[in-house]
Amino acid sequence: MNAFRSTLFSSAVILAAGVSIAPVIAATPDNMLIIANRIDDITTLDPAQSFEFAGSDVNRNLYSKLVGFDPANLSGGYIPALADSWDVSEDGKTITFTMREGVTFESGNAVTAQDVEWSLRRVITLNKTPSFILSQFGFTPENVAETIVADGNTISITTDKRYATSFVLNCLTATVGSIIDSQTAMEHEVDGDLANEWLRTNAAGSGAYTLGSWKPDESVTLVANNDFFRGAPEMQRVIVRNIQESATQRLLLENGDIDVARNLNPEDVAGVALVDGIAVDSELRGRLMYISMNQKNEILANPKVIEALKYLIDYEGMQNGFLNGQYTIHQAFLPATYLGEIDDAPFTLDVEKAKALLAEAGYADGFEIGIVVREAQERIEIAQSIQNTFAQAGITVSIQVGTGKQILGIYRAREHDIYVGAWGPDYPDPNTNAGTFAFNPDNSDEAGATGLLAWRNSWSIPEMSEATLAAVVENDRDARAAMYEAIQREHQQTSPFAVMFQKIEQTGRAENVQGLSLGGAITAVSYWNVTK
């Protein structure tokens, strides 16, 4: 049943004790998979624009990419998908893919190299938020005609420098790498928008599923594509229903009205684990929880204070308390399972040491500081726990809670003191996090590098930025890993980021449902391997 046992940290906990809280009275139809999840963050289904967790989950099942992951073997890395094979040129700048034969889109049109050319160029031309995943290789709207070129059944892409091949291919597995049916899409183009508007609510892909319907805040329905090139999926319909409350998801699961509940909190996980016929899976995801200290604040810019605060967080208490089972202590910016990951955790709650450091810094009596945090239960609890432990060293914390967008606005404008944040990797390559936690070439306000976490915290790191740049062009895998390890060790000690935890997604599932992969730390969910 555990399809991802091979994934390093994945584990499945099945506790089928004899105590049943609720009788399982109903069951969902055999060829249908029904999932409860929070999906109100989906704003668009266009692969060139979609950038949220729930959106990626939908896209991975609607579209295929040149290269992809086998849901049953995520740790095996990328494998051929729409591309059958690829060659790298002598200078390492050009990768030429040969297309798989006989694959069709849901419209019946054949998937051709032309479609790949159109889809990838489109990402660059539209220049929506996630386009940086491809444009970081030097593609611009002006040069795509030369750099992304189809020829017969091959497609070649030429980068501006020689990058690690794995870096380029990893980026192509991201949602922006989705291959769209150019013919169908262009029939719906309006005012030269490359069908951006139409693809927002429709799909034209060659994935395992086609889009049945998307009702915002309500549900997404996927219908099986029985011509899928890896074989027809067993689940003929997959319905993802938007259920906000953990307690509600649990009740639905226990009553057999859904097959999978994806947002159970630790208490509800413990509860469903006792119910007959329900299993709980734990899968390590890529999301990190951290706090960051704005270097514009004079107090927080003091290296001793930064170090002291890292000793004033009750990592273990939180992990074993309200985060139990859903976050694991992790103190480096690369998530576990990534190339170059380190598992050092040098910081623990040590009030005496922190007090000594604060005294050295000249704040023996503490100081007052603000924490901004978005309205999300676990983050508010983290903020409160930090407030509590900071107070033990005389630091008075005021917490400001706001909606996600409000708090993000403050953060991007560099107006916070301390921010409680979460960060999920965008593509399965170490640069995805290194390029934001440890990269900030121009710290001026004018630079406006709002996408970079280091910039948002006003942390000026010309040397570390150089090191991060050097790591992306290193082609030797081991050397590259060593570079990231070194950067992280320095980052861990000196940066104004206290990375605290990595996410473990706990899923409650009806026992008869097998083979569901959430995508680990590297990709999104896939439904086509699911059986009942």
Partner 1 sequence: MAMAEQSRKGRRRSPLFGIAKKTGSTLLTVVATMLGLLFVTFFIGRVMPVDPVLSIVGERATQEQYQAVFLELGLDKSLFTQFFIYLGDVVQGDFGKSLRTGFPVWDDVTRVFPATLELATLGTLIGVFIGVPLGVLAAVKRGTWIDQVARVVALIGYSMPVFWLAIIGLMVLYGKLGWVSGPGRVDIYFEDIVPSVTGMILIDSIIARDWTIFWNAVSHIILPASLLGYYSLAYISRMTRSFMLEQLSAEYITTARVKGMSEWAVVWKHAFGNIKVPLITVIALSYAGLLEGSVLTEIIFSWPGIGKYITISLLSADMNAVMGGTVVVGLVFVLLNIFAELLYKFFDPRAK
Partner 2 sequence: MSLADTQKPGLRGWLLTDTPTSRRHARAASLYQAWLSLKGNHMAMLGLGILIALVIIAALASVLAPSDPFIQDLSLRLTPPIWQADRDPAIEGYILGSDSLGRDILSRLLYGSRITLYIVTLVALMAPIMGLLVGTIAGYAGGWLDVILMRITDIFLAFPRLILALAFVATLGAGIENAVLAISLTAWPPYARIARAETLTIRNSDYIHAVRLQGAGPMRIITKHIWPLCISSLVVRVTLDMAGIILAAAGLGFLGLGAQPPSPEWGAMISEGRKFILDHWWVATMPGLAIFTVSLAFNLLGDGLRDVLDPKDGAS
Tokens 């630790």 locate to 266
Using CB under 8 A, pick the residue from 448, 466, 473, 479 that binds partner 1. 448
The option from partner 2, partner 1, none interacting with 252 (CB < 5 to 8 A, set by class) reads: partner 1
195 exposure class (CB count in 10 Å sphere: 0-12, 13-18, 19+) = buried
Q: Residue 341's closest CA among 526, 144, 487?
A: 487
Q: Is position 322 an interface residue for partner 2 (rule: CB under 8 A)? A: yes
Q: Which is nearer to partner 1, 183 or 202 (CB)?
A: 202
The option from partner 1, partner 2, none interacting with 383 (CB < 5 to 8 A, set by class) reads: partner 2
- Longest alpha-carbon distance in the chain: 72
Q: Which is nearer to partner 2, 96 or 392 (CB)?
A: 392
- Residue 446 DSSP label: G
Using CB under 8 A, pick the residue from 60, 93, 122, 128 that binds partner 1. 128
Compute CA 64 distance to the chain's CA centroid, rounded to the nearest angstrom. Answer: 18
> How is residue 137 written in tokens?
């290789």
Q: Are 175 and 203 in contact (CB under 8 A)?
A: no
Strand ranges (E), 485-525: 497-510
Q: Is position 320 an interface residue for partner 2 (rule: CB under 8 A)? A: yes
The option from partner 1, partner 2, none interacting with 350 (CB < 5 to 8 A, set by class) reads: none
Please list the residues that pair with 279 across neighbouring strands.
509
What is the distance between the alpha carbons of residues 5 and 350, in angstroms, rounded to a whole number?
36
Shortest Å distance, C-beta 257 to partner 1: 5
CB atoms closer than 10 angstroms to residue 76: 11
Please list the residues that pair with 293 across neighbouring strands.
418
Shortest Å distance, C-beta 171 to partner 1: 14
What is the distance between the alpha carbons of residues 177 and 207, in angstroms, rounded to a whole number?
13
3-state secondary structure at position 307: helix
The stretch near partner 2 (CB under 8 A) out of 231-239, 240-248, 325-333, 426-434 is: 240-248
Task: Give me the phi and psi of 190, to 5 degrees please.
Answer: -125, 125
| Positions 345 through 404 that interact with partner 2 (CB under 8 A) | 375, 377, 380-381, 383-385, 387-388, 399-403
Q: Which is nearer to partner 2, 212 or 317 (CB)?
A: 317
> How is residue 210 written in tokens?
């086609």
Q: Which is nearer to partner 1, 243 or 530 (CB)?
A: 243
Shortest Å distance, C-beta 187 to partner 2: 40
3-state secondary structure at position 462: helix
Shortest Å distance, C-beta 457 to partner 1: 14
Q: Are 418 and 293 in contact (CB under 8 A)?
A: yes
Q: Which is nearer to partner 2, 149 or 401 (CB)?
A: 401
The option from partner 2, partner 1, none interacting with 265 (CB < 5 to 8 A, set by class) reads: partner 2
Lay out the site mask for partner 1 across 219-238 (x = CB under 8 A, - = otherwise).
x-x---------------x-
Using CB under 8 A, pick the residue from 3, 34, 278, 521 that binds partner 1. 34
The option from partner 1, partner 2, none interacting with 22 (CB < 5 to 8 A, set by class) reads: partner 1
Tokens 């444009």 locate to 135
Q: Which residues bind partner 1 (CB under 8 A)?
A: 21-23, 25, 28-29, 32, 34, 40, 43-44, 51-52, 127-130, 132, 200-201, 213, 215-219, 221, 237, 239, 241-245, 247-248, 251-252, 254-255, 257-258, 403-406, 408-409, 412, 426, 448-451
